[in-house]
Amino acid sequence: MSSEKVTIFDTTLRDGEQSPGASLSIEEKIEVAHQLAKLGVDVIEAGFPVSSPAQFEATRLCAENVDGPTICGLARANSKDLQAAGDALKAAKTSRIHTFIATSPVHMEYKLRKKPDEVLKMAVKAVEEAKGLADEVEFSPEDACRSDMAFLVEILNAVVEAGATTLNIPDTVGYILPYEYGKIIAELNEKVVGDKDVVLSTHCHNDLGLAAANSLAGVSNGARQIECTINGIGERAGNCALEEVVMAIRTRSDAFEDIDTSINTKEIYRTSQLVSHLTGFSIQPNKAIVGKNAFAHESGIHVDGILKKRETYEIMTPESIGLGESRMVLGRHSGRAGFVDRCKTLGYDLSPEESKAAYEKFLEIADKKKEIFDEDLVAIIGDEVRGGEQIYKLEYLHVACGTGTLPTASVRMIVNGESKQAAACGDGPVDAAYEAVRLACEQSPKLEGYNIQAVTGGKEAMGEATVRVSDGKRTFMGRGVSTDIVEASAKAYVSAINRMVGWKNREQETRVEL
């Protein structure tokens, strides 16, 4: 018997990018989109085209260059937004406009300042207009879960009559509980969908930690599309995590009988790592499915059980998400061919220039530590080869510190091709390095957060630093790796400044939330 398909609608590039600090360049968005296609997602929400030239261009390039998934653009219920989305999606093999308007009493009264009948007319008009601009039309009643059910049924029936084929039911503020969300989907399935060729979709936020549970409750009650993001990134506490709902449906086939997705689960780990490195967002160790502790066992009872029969404490295998058990260990005597082959095995299709840069950095690290593991390679590629915009580049760093000594640092930076040097003192070696970088770059972002951790174990482990800075309006993430934790910290700080300045060089984007 063939399984009934649940469409996976990935909004990492739109809703996910609205995470504070998760700004991606156009090139990074295209790279993620290609990986999402390899993962097997059905729909990619590439952006909000009207909000800025960068968003429009990213959506347009996804439509032109990414094969497989339907490419979607977000638009508010007005002609300007809809036309921009339609223009950006022209080259897509299959295009979708996702239009929305708020329907909850609090949103209509205080945000839109409109009556329900006005909102209904705007929704119908938007869907009718979108029909002429894209192959498919999806409609979302923003803040649906706090909307009056009678009005929700009325407006959804009206937009279906106007031509919408997907109805998305967003839990915009992450407020609903699974049994409540399931009841909403079941009622809409009965009163709106019926025997119509219309798909109900879930879009759940994680403010109460229930995004995945709510999405699955929706599927159990008739929803056949899940809107989600890689690693669950998104506004506030984030969105429903793609890897969680996909593996829940796959693992609990008894609960989701004859239901499946088209996701190639062996690409999950690779996609998770790519998004983590490009956004600068580290994955918490105990994150479900993709956290580094997800398949780790320390308790003697657990280890004994695993050795006797894996299923005693593992409900899925590492291999099922693309995380192989065997790790290749490379060293300074490993040739370029072996290095490139291992990078391909890890999912990196590097250009000749990228391979050269990565291999040179590999040899540099190999001179400092005897063994280089897969995690080290991922860090090297993410930091050295695909580190984002390089307006500023750290060329040299020297730090002097010790007991009874004032910590000082000197740096040489390449700033738009020009060499600049600076020296400074600080409360510690990292603070001194940051002050010297600020002077050389002539930038003064506020440091909002700092974290350092080992990439792998052992005394020769590479350190991975993550920093969060702000310009007073928006936050930006940066990441750096090195066998020297002060150097890693400085590189992370420079990475964050590059993101901040790169963002300022592009037009500011209008943020929207469903």
Kind of pairing, strands 43-47 and 70-76? parallel
Please give the full DSSP string across 461-472, using - where no structure is assigned: PPEEEEEEEE-S
Element (H, E) at 40: none
Element (H, E) at 324: none
Domain with CATH 3.20.20.70 in the chain: 4-279
Q: Give per-residue pLDDT as tens, 267-311.
A: 999 899 889 888 888 888 899 999 887 776 444 444 455 455 556
- Long-range contacts made by residues 187-192, C-beta under 8 angstroms, separation at least 24? 187/149, 187/153, 188/152, 188/153, 188/156, 189/221, 189/222, 189/223, 191/153, 191/157, 192/153, 192/156, 192/157, 192/160, 192/167
Q: Give per-residue pLDDT as tens, 231-278.
A: 999 999 999 999 999 999 999 999 999 999 999 999 999 899 889 888
Spatial separation of the C-alpha atoms in residues 342 and 359, rounded to whole Å:
11
What pLDDT sits at residue 326? 46
Range with the lowest mean pLDDT among 87-96, 277-286, 336-345?
A: 336-345
Q: Give per-residue pLDDT as tens, 144-174.
A: 999 999 999 999 999 999 999 999 999 999 9
Range with the lowest mean pLDDT among 174-183, 362-371, 378-387?
A: 378-387
Spatial separation of the C-alpha atoms in residues 120 and 79, rounded to whole Å:
16
Whether residue 107 is annotated as binding a ligand: the answer is no
Q: Are 196 and 159 in contact (CB under 8 A)?
A: no
Residue closest to 205 by CA, chosen among 476, 18, 5, 474: 18
Residue closest to 39 by CA, chosen among 212, 223, 269, 292: 269
What is the percentage of the chain residues whose pLDDT exceeds 70?
91
| pLDDT-based confidence at residue 13 (cuts at 50, 70, 90) | very high
What is the percentage of the chain residues whose pLDDT exceeds 90?
64
What pLDDT sits at residue 306? 44
Q: Give per-residue pLDDT as tens, 423-452.
A: 999 999 999 999 999 999 999 999 999 999
Mean pLDDT, the chain, integer: 89
HSE on the CB side for 449, CA within 13 Å?
A: 13
Spatial separation of the C-alpha atoms in residues 429 and 413, rounded to whole Å:
18
Spatial separation of the C-alpha atoms in residues 343 and 323, rounded to whole Å:
14
What pLDDT sits at residue 329? 65
Spatial separation of the C-alpha atoms in residues 275 and 24, rounded to whole Å:
10
Tell me the CATH number for domain 4-279.
Answer: 3.20.20.70
Domain with CATH 3.30.160.270 in the chain: 392-505
Per-residue 3-state assignment (H helix, E strand, C coil) for 72-83? EEEEECCHHHHH
Q: Among 14-18, 139-143, 492-496, which range has the highest average pLDDT?
A: 139-143
Scored b (16 or more CB within 10 A) or e, 380-410 reads bbbbbbbbbeebbebeebebebeeeeebbbb
Q: Dihedral, CA atoms, 224, 229, 235, 237, nearest 10 degrees?
A: 90
Tell me the CATH number for domain 392-505.
Answer: 3.30.160.270
Whether residue 205 is annotated as binding a ligand: the answer is yes
Neighbours of 254 (CB within 10 A): 6
Whether residue 98 is annotated as binding a ligand: the answer is no
Spatial separation of the C-alpha atoms in residues 379 and 375, rounded to whole Å:
6
Q: Dihedral, CA atoms, 500, 501, 507, 511, nearest 10 degrees?
A: 0
